[in-house]
Amino acid sequence: MTGEAALEPIRQHIAAEVENDVEKTMSTVTEDFAYEVVAQKRTMHGRAEAAAFHRQWWNAFRLVEANILQHWLLADHVIVEVETVQERIGAGDPAAGQVTRGRAIAVFTVRDGKVASEVVYSNRRD
């Protein structure tokens, strides 16, 4: 799936992430979903690994907002610039309650109406 039609599954994926709902988020990706977070040097293969990562992440952070600032449609990829607002919520985290803003570039592929891969580039390591 390419062009403007590829944006809808990506929008659904990001909206599910903002709900901090692992099952809903994983329903937007293919079974063989490939997910890479470059700043953390982490790569997940398949829905189960991606779900475990999201559970771990959402035990420390609550994603409050995510907005696509701009996007680029390529022949077989969609690149989006996303601005996020997150709140630290980790038990015992001295920074709990702190709200941060960040930006990232994410490169997506979409197949059969679902996100097949996502590579996230940001300067965040937490």
The one-digit pLDDT tens for each residue of the chain (126 residues) are 667 888 999 999 999 999 999 999 999 999 999 999 999 999 999 999 999 999 998 988 899 999 999 999 998 899 999 999 999 997 788 888 999 999 999 999 999 999 999 999 997 655
Q: How far apart are CA 74 and CA 59, in angstroms?
A: 34
Tell me the one-letter amino acid at 52. A
DSSP, residue by residue, 94-116: TTTT-EEEEEEEEEEEEETTEEE
Supply 9's token pair: 């599954």
What Cα–Cα distance (Å) separates residue 122 from each residue in 31, 61, 73? Answer: 25, 16, 20
At residue 55, the pLDDT reads 95
Domains of the chain (ranges, CATH numbers): 3-121 (3.10.450.50)
